[in-house]
Amino acid sequence: MPALSSTMTEGKIVEWLKQPGQRVERGDSVLVVESDKADMDVEAFHGGFLAAVLMPAGGTAPVGETIGLIVDSEAEIATAAAQAPAAPAAQAPVATATASSAPASPAPASPVAASPAPSAQVVAAPVVAAPVVVPPAVAPAPAAASSNGGRVVASPRAKKLASQLGVVLEGLRGSGPHGRIQAEDVLAAGGQPISVPRVAEGSGPAVAAVASASNGAAAAAVAPAASAAPLGQAFGRPGETVAFNTLQQAVNRSMVASLTAPCFRVGYTITTDKLDAFYKKVKGKGVTMTALLAKAVGVVLARHPQVNATTTDAGMLYPAAVNVAVAVAMEDGGLITPVLANTDSTDIYSLARNWADLVARARSKQLKPEEYSTGTFTLSNLGMFGVDRFDAILPPGTGAILAVAASRPTVVAAKDGSISVKNQMQVNLTCDHRTIYGAHAAAFLKDLAQLIETAPESLAF
């Protein structure tokens, strides 16, 4: 069952356009899948014969489930069909390609079934047949790692963790692009609470920001869990000098360029109880804290164009759109700032999906230049690490960047002298003083705090 959407968990088979025994050419529509009010024709990746239909029309199957079998030759139909009813469970993991995660090139030579096949290559070439040349990974459905011709595909950190924790990678389901096993998958399999993802800033579901808000001990609890893993990141071994990679060099240039901008910083403390409550309501719908924070910043920026502006030789440039970029650290060094275009006018669900897609493609280095270079304002969030305050360096071409720290329970005294415990986070705005003055920064932060403290539900649309 292919995924027609990053939010699709199951699909209904409306109609089989081919019958068992019928010849199927590559690119033929084999069946029609419906999810919500959208239909999609599903096409075959491989020519052959439809040997068996495992899920008849009218039936519903979870994304990734094998729903039919295509074999290479007429002779194999009977064998495959005979096996089919008993085999679907065993073969299910084979059906990994999804509409959104299928490789653009022809699938690696029939990801062959794990089940005993009478003759080589017989069984599966699953009918998942994603419509061709699909962009990768919109939060791809978990896929079996070992499907890739039996080779285990895992990130270096995942492999290292696996050996440390004694987790067997074979058979583990990977959540990364094309089923790649990520460090988090290994931690999950090892029974470890999932610690902060290495690709950190804003990339994860930002749970920790809220977890630490609802439970002050959470940030501390993460540390011992993570201690089984290598503690700090390094790109070289003691005694070595390691050349900067391309991305690190690009970051270096930006950071040095920032020294020509006269910056100042303004901080604010924001109470997040209402934001945390709203986040709890919408996170089941795929909304992340990063998306919420970006949306809040975008909405307030639209009301404070001076903070969205930047300094150029010609004067103060006011961009036509509000595009909030969010800094994401890369596993192999450097960082990138994927851009949520039109942040102020895009609904939160679309923002969250766009963000998941951007991060997935950032990880696999498939972002287009306009997807990371068109930010008009940058957000840097270290809240998920429990950081209580920091400041950020201004990226060139923009006027301001906001550093967001963790929300933590704090004893708060009100004006009337009453004392209560509220979740509070510190934010710190770095501004280029040629364009943005202290009063602009203060007004922006005051509005941002008011939005987050009083009307976070308005961020939904």
Partner 1 sequence: MGSQLDAILFESERLVPFERGWQAQRQLQQRLLLQPEGPDAVLLLQHEPCYTLGRGADPSFLRFDHANPPLPLHRIDRGGEVTHHCPGQLVLYPVLNLQRHGADLHLYLRQLEQVGIDLLAEYGLAAERLAGLTGVWLEGHKLAAIGVGARRWISQHGLALNVDCDLAGFSQVVPCGLADRPVGRLLDWRPQLSAAAVAPRLLAVFADRFGLALRAPEPQEQLQGW
For Cα atoms 316, 374, 432, give the angle at the middle one, nearest 5 degrees.
Answer: 35
> At its nearest, how many Å lie between partner 1 and the CB of residue 32?
6
Query: Partners of 315 in the beta sheet?
Result: 312
Q: Please give the sequence-ordered ranges of beta strands (E in DSSP) within 147-203, or none if there are none.
A: 173-174
Instruction: For residue 402, give the H/E element and its range.
Output: strand 400-413
Name the minimum Å distance from CB 354 to partner 1.
7
Tokens matching residue 28? 């033929």
Least separation, in Å, of the C-beta of 16 and partner 1?
12
- The amino acid occupying position 187 is L
Q: Which is nearer to partner 1, 106 or 135 (CB)?
A: 135
The catalytically annotated residue of 46, 178, 433, 440 is 433
Establish if 398 lies at the interface with partner 1 (CB under 8 A).
Answer: no
Show contacts with partner 1 in window 43-72 (CB under 8 A). 43, 58
Residue 24 binding partner 1, by CB under 8 A: no
Query: C-alpha 199: how far from its chain's center?
Result: 10
Three-state secondary-structure class, residue 124 = coil
Per CB under 8 A, the list member of 347, 365, 420, 446 interacting with partner 1 is 347
Stretch that binds partner 1, among 1-9, 175-183, 295-303, 420-428 (CB under 8 A): 1-9
Q: Are 251 and 413 in contact (CB under 8 A)?
A: no
Burial group, residue 22, by CB count within 10 angstroms (0-12, 13-18, 19+):
middle
x/- letters, 92..111, toward partner 1 (CB under 8 A): -------xx-----------
DSSP 154: B
Length of the chain: 461
Among 14, 221, 257, 412, binds partner 1 (CB under 8 A): 14
Question: Would residue 440 show up in a list of annotated catalytic residues for this protein?
Answer: no
CA distances to 116, 248, 375, 398 from 335, rounded to whole Å, are 46, 7, 14, 17
* Residue numbers 358-387 binding partner 1 by CB under 8 A: 370, 374
Among 10, 20, 22, 32, binds partner 1 (CB under 8 A): 32
Contact criterion met (CB below 8 Å) for 296 and 289: no
Residue 457 lies near partner 1 (rule: CB under 8 A): no
* Contacts within 8 Å (CB) and 24+ apart, 412-418: 412/271
Structure tokens of 215? 């439970």
Residues 402-421 that bind partner 1 (CB under 8 A): none
Based on the shown chain and the rule CB under 8 A, indicate whether residue 74 belongs to the binding site for partner 1: no
DSSP state of 410: E
- Three-class secondary structure of residue 69 per DSSP: strand
CB nearer to partner 1: give 100 or 430.
Answer: 100
Among the listed residues 180, 283, 353, 363, the single contact to partner 1 using CB under 8 A: 353
Binding-site member from 29, 121, 192, 258 for partner 1 (CB under 8 A): 29
What number of chain residues touch partner 1 (CB under 8 A)? 42
Q: Which is nearer to partner 1, 31 or 275 (CB)?
A: 31
Residues that bind partner 1 (CB under 8 A): 4-8, 12, 14-15, 29, 32, 34-41, 43, 58, 99-100, 131-135, 138, 319-321, 323, 341, 347, 349-350, 353-354, 357, 370, 374, 461
Give the residue numbers annotated as catalytic, written as ranges. 433
